[in-house]
Amino acid sequence: MVINIEERVERARRLFKEGGYNCCQAVVLAYNDVFGIDDVTAASMASGFGGGMGRMREVCGSVSGMVMLAGLIAPAADPSIKVDRTRNYALVQEMAGEFKAINGSIICKELLGLVPTGSGAAPSPESPEPSDRTPEYYKKRPCEELVGISARIVGEKIAAMKK
């Protein structure tokens, strides 16, 4: 299967903005068909990672989506096969490093400007209730762009693995 990365990036962005999916779901759903995973299963598995893991503002949901997909790009299903785990972890580190190089962080609270980058500060606790998707919501968040960046990184890794 040939993957059009730009189409996948736009799909991820659209799923986030128009579909109401969280950051992680949007990235995973942009590629789930490549791995033969149905939409409901993919969206369910990724559902808890939005808002930096359940709105705790920790690792960005789009980065979590990349990590989930890394497990399918470079599987490590058998814990006794160390070389597979090493390859998977190397891919995760590479993807996260690329994201961080572009955005300065992989941490949701830093990406949203809730705390200074690298401060380790904790933002005010938030309700687990997702924010309403209003025009103001999209204006004050870089999430749609971050989802696109993560989807592009995933697409590039899939393309590189097929070479």
- The answer as to whether 93 is a domain residue is yes
- The answer as to whether 150 is a domain residue is yes
In order along its 163 residues, the chain shows pLDDT tens digits of 689 999 999 999 999 999 899 999 999 999 999 999 999 999 999 999 999 999 999 999 999 999 999 999 999 999 999 999 999 999 999 999 999 999 999 999 999 999 888 888 877 778 899 888 888 888 889 999 999 999 999 999 999 987 6
- The answer as to whether 23 is a domain residue is yes
Per DSSP, 107 falls in state B
- The answer as to whether 36 is a domain residue is yes
Encode pLDDT of 15-44 as tens digits: 999 989 999 999 999 999 999 999 999 999
- The answer as to whether 126 is a domain residue is no
Residue-level pLDDT at 159: 93
Residue-level pLDDT at 1: 66
| Cβ within 8 Å of residue 86, ≥6 positions away | none
Using alpha carbons, select from 16, 30, 27 the residue that is nearest to residue 99.
Answer: 27
> Phi and psi of 29, rounded to 5°?
-70, -15
Residue-level pLDDT at 73: 97
Residue-level pLDDT at 140: 87
d(CA 139, CA 83): 44
Domain total for the chain?
A: 1
d(CA 98, CA 153): 8
SS (H, E, C) 61-83: HHHHHHHHHHHHHCCCCCCCCHH
In terms of residue numbers, what domain contains 88? 5-121+131-161
Residue-level pLDDT at 118: 85
Burial of 84 (0-12, 13-18, 19+ CB in 10 A): middle
> Phi and psi of 59, rounded to 5°?
-65, 130
